[in-house]
Structure 1
Amino acid sequence: MSNGKERIAIIGAGLGGAVAGALLQHAGFDVNVYEQAPSFSRLGAGIHMGPNVIKIFERIGVAEKVVSISSTPSHWFSRDGISGDYRSRIPLEGYGATYCTVHRGDLQGIQCDALQPGTLHFGKKLTRIDDNGTDVLIEFEDGTSVRADIVVGADGINSRVRETLLGAEKPNYSGWVGHRALISSDKLRKYDLTFEDCVKWWGPDRHMMVYYTTARRDEYYYVTGVPHPAWEFDTAFVPSSREEMFSEFEGYHPVIQALIESTDEVTKWPLFNRNPLPLWSRGRLVLLGDACHPMKPHMAQGAAMAIEDAAMLTRCLQETGVNNFATAFGLYEANRRDRATRVQTVSNANTFLLDQEDPSWVYGYDLYAEPLKSEKAA
């Protein structure tokens, strides 16, 4: 349905925005991506990319490259954080594609490289959007502006595009923080302990997720979920310390103690959330990913949902064309809301894969094999 001339602007070049841009460009649309960061850098830490996402990466020709730089665990292990007893051993193979754990920055670099040259613009912090009914005026902090036929808000939990649709509203602090640290695997060799490829250590009220982030298995990453009554800081994260980590995980398994002891630098991040939004689009503006349905990271599917959103939005725009964007946006929401809401609910509950279960509803999902249901059917 695309004539290659429709102008689509994507706000945010994170994991969802970059993939949305590449998918839409591969489908023949005229797309530019605007990112507020001044340049690309290897930010972030580890991330999971399940088979449900790798199937989407195949569409833009980056699946093999992603797999080649990733750790590819055969199982997700869940263990009691104190005794070390196994709660579950979940196979990660047999879902039609590879399960990957990778550094977020390395992954984002591959995604950005999949965009057409000259279509990714850094240093573009959004200040104002005006949907006048005919097109959309987008203004940036650097004084520049562009116009587009439609705008995709892929700008995260503090989305300015969402704010334009629904008004200013701070996200909800969840009462949890996550500690993040990368550890050189060389530091772990001195221990007579087993450091598994992908394992979640569960305590009564906290957890630690641990996995390798490279194919070389030279970088081991942990992220925690720990109760914390209030977030007292104005920054996105604050430094933490080994001492704080030892205090938070006192009495836990020797593997956890070894990980903390091997940590050079650890940061602490608040976990925010939002209630389900009453709408995903209005006029010529549409949301995806954390701008639309943020969730706690306990299921390792937040970025995956943004990427699935990007694929479904592309599929719907291919079906209708940009000139019929209202129908495309209605189809997109009708075909994404139930799944995104289910994943959001399970992730927030922090029960996924604690005990032996079948995760095929997550990993076995093939977005392109699902028939599009109509807006009315939803």
Structure 2
Amino acid sequence: MSGDKQKIAIIGAGLGGAVAGSLLQHAGFNVDVYEQAPTFARLGAGIHMGPNVLKIFERIGVAEKVVSISSTPKFWFSRDGLTGDYLSRIPLDGYGATYCTVHRGDLQQLQCETLLPGSLHFNRKLTRIDDNGTDVHLQFEDGTSAHADIVIGADGINSKMRETLLGFEKPHYSGWVGHRALIDAGKLKKYGLDFEDCVKWWGPDRHMMVYYTTGRRDEYYYVTGVPHAAWEFETAFVDSSREEMYEAFAGYHPIIQALIESTDVVTKWPLFNRSPLPLWSRGRMVMLGDACHPMKPHMAQGAAMAIEDAAMLTRCLIETGTGDYATAFKLYEINRRERATRVQSVSNANTFLLEQEDPSWVYGYDVYAEPLRSESAA
């Protein structure tokens, strides 16, 4: 594809957008990535990268680097949040690649470094996008503009691309919030408790997912899912407190109490949903990840689905070339909609790995091993 000089623009340099850019550039496409943030900061959040994603990272030569900066748990434990009883012990080996838990900021930096120099543009908040049939004009808040032959929207649940294709519609507040906190693991030594590598604590109506985010295991992270009747804040998140955490998890296991006691800073994030979209592309524009199929984070597969989308879209563009983008976009949706919708549904239900089950349909999946289905076969 090195002779294909048509320009591809990607809106959003999150994990889906950055990996899409890198995969497409490795395939020889001419790609620029536009990110609204002025720069990336190492914000306090962890992320799971399962074997289904590491197989994609191998294609851009970063799988070993990701493993080197990650914790690599051998099991996903599910435990009763009140009694501590084990509900499941799910092996994370045997799916063809390593299972990683890592700091999102560390992973983001690594992925951005795989992009060609000069192709990642910060401080580019998209304000207008016009597909005139010949090319696509992009207008940014800082007054700059750009043109591209096709545009990939990887700009999250509040996607400007989605708004352009389908009109403005606020995402639905799910009735849940997630608390996020990073803990200095050294603080935990005094308790004499077993802080496992990857464990989800389940209560009757709430949970707490906990894991290490570095290979040194010096940083322990938790994220919750807690009912919250209304989201009354306009910002993406607000500060929470140790006191609020104690209230939310009153009576829960001593390990959870120790985590809360060791918390210095905790934030609270609303969890939003959208209904399945009637279309994933139109004209020269196509979407991936949360712009296309946002989901609650309860399976730890949201970013993974964006990255799988990026890999499949790249496969389809290699198959057709950018000149036949319409066929590529159709192939992409046909080959992604069923899996993305299934993961979205299971994640929103929040039952994944609660009991002993085989997760090979998730972790054993290899986007490159799947035969490309045509429209007639779908």
| Structure 2 unaligned regions, length at least 5 | none
CA-CA distance at 1:43 after TM superposition: 2.4
Q: Structure 2: how far apart are the matches of 1:6 and 1:123?
A: 24
Name the aligned partner's letter for residue 248 of structure 2. E
Give secondary structure in 2 for the equivalent of 1:376: helix
Contact 2:4 2:321 in 1 (8 A): no
Give secondary structure in 1 for the equivalent of 2:191: coil
Which residue is 2:141 aligned to?
141
Name the aligned partner's letter for residue 347 of structure 1. S
1:48-67 Cα offsets, whole Å, 9 max, x none, are 00000000000000000000
Which residue is 2:271 aligned to?
271
Q: How many percent of aligned residue pairs carry the same amino acid?
A: 83
Contact 1:2 1:321 in 2 (8 A): no
Q: Structure 2: how far apart are the matches of 1:123 and 1:179?
A: 28
Aligned pairs (5 A) from 1:274-293: 274-293=274-293
Which residue is 2:33 aligned to?
33
Q: Structure 1: how far apart are the matches of 2:333 and 2:44?
A: 29
Which residue is 2:335 aligned to?
335
Name the aligned partner's letter for residue 281 of structure 2. S
1:308-347 Cα offsets, whole Å, 9 max, x none, are 0000000000000001000000000000000000000000
Contact 1:79 1:86 in 2 (8 A): yes
CA-CA distance at 1:2 after TM superposition: 5.3
CA-CA distance at 1:72 after TM superposition: 0.0
Contact 1:33 1:119 in 2 (8 A): yes
Which residue is 1:247 aligned to?
247
Q: Structure 2: how far apart are the matches of 1:217 and 1:44?
A: 15
| Structure 1 unaligned regions, length at least 5 | none
Name the aligned partner's letter for residue 277 of structure 2. L
Q: Structure 2: how far apart are the matches of 1:376 and 1:304?
A: 27
Which residue is 2:175 aligned to?
175
Contact 2:44 2:180 in 1 (8 A): no
1:283-314 Cα offsets, whole Å, 9 max, x none, are 00000000000000000000000000000000
1:251-294 Cα offsets, whole Å, 9 max, x none, are 00000000000000000000001000000000000000000000
Q: Structure 1: how far apart are the matches of 2:247 and 2:376?
A: 53
Contact 1:273 1:294 in 2 (8 A): yes
CA-CA distance at 1:376 after TM superposition: 2.2
Aligned pairs (5 A) from 1:1-378: 1=1, 3-378=3-378
Contact 1:2 1:318 in 2 (8 A): no
Q: Structure 1: how far apart are the matches of 2:3 and 2:295?
A: 36
Q: Structure 1: how far apart are the matches of 2:135 and 2:122?
A: 23
Q: Structure 1: how far apart are the matches of 2:184 and 2:42?
A: 16
Contact 1:76 1:198 in 2 (8 A): yes
Contact 1:176 1:228 in 2 (8 A): yes
CA-CA distance at 1:40 after TM superposition: 2.2
Name the aligned partner's letter for residue 256 of structure 1. I
CA-CA distance at 1:375 after TM superposition: 1.7
Q: Structure 2: how far apart are the matches of 1:223 and 1:100?
A: 16
Q: Structure 2: how far apart are the matches of 1:95 and 1:264?
A: 36
Contact 2:71 2:216 in 1 (8 A): yes
Q: Structure 2: how far apart are the matches of 1:8 and 1:118?
A: 14
Pick which of 266-275 and 39-48 moved more: 39-48
1:134-191 Cα offsets, whole Å, 9 max, x none, are 0000000111111000000000000000000000000000000000000000100110
Name the aligned partner's letter for residue 159 of structure 1. S
**When the two structures are superposed, what TM-score results if normalisation uses the length of structure 2?**
0.99
**When the two structures are superposed, what TM-score results if normalisation uses the length of structure 1?**
0.99
Contact 1:2 1:322 in 2 (8 A): no
Contact 2:128 2:138 in 1 (8 A): yes
Q: Structure 1: how far apart are the matches of 2:241 and 2:109?
A: 29
CA-CA distance at 1:4 after TM superposition: 3.4
Contact 1:33 1:121 in 2 (8 A): yes
Name the aligned partner's letter for residue 139 of structure 1. Q
Q: How many residues align?
A: 378
Name the aligned partner's letter for residue 49 of structure 1. M
Q: Structure 1: how far apart are the matches of 2:43 and 2:139?
A: 26
Q: Structure 2: how far apart are the matches of 1:16 and 1:376?
A: 28
Q: CA RMSD in A?
A: 0.6
Give secondary structure in 2 for the equivalent of 1:353: coil
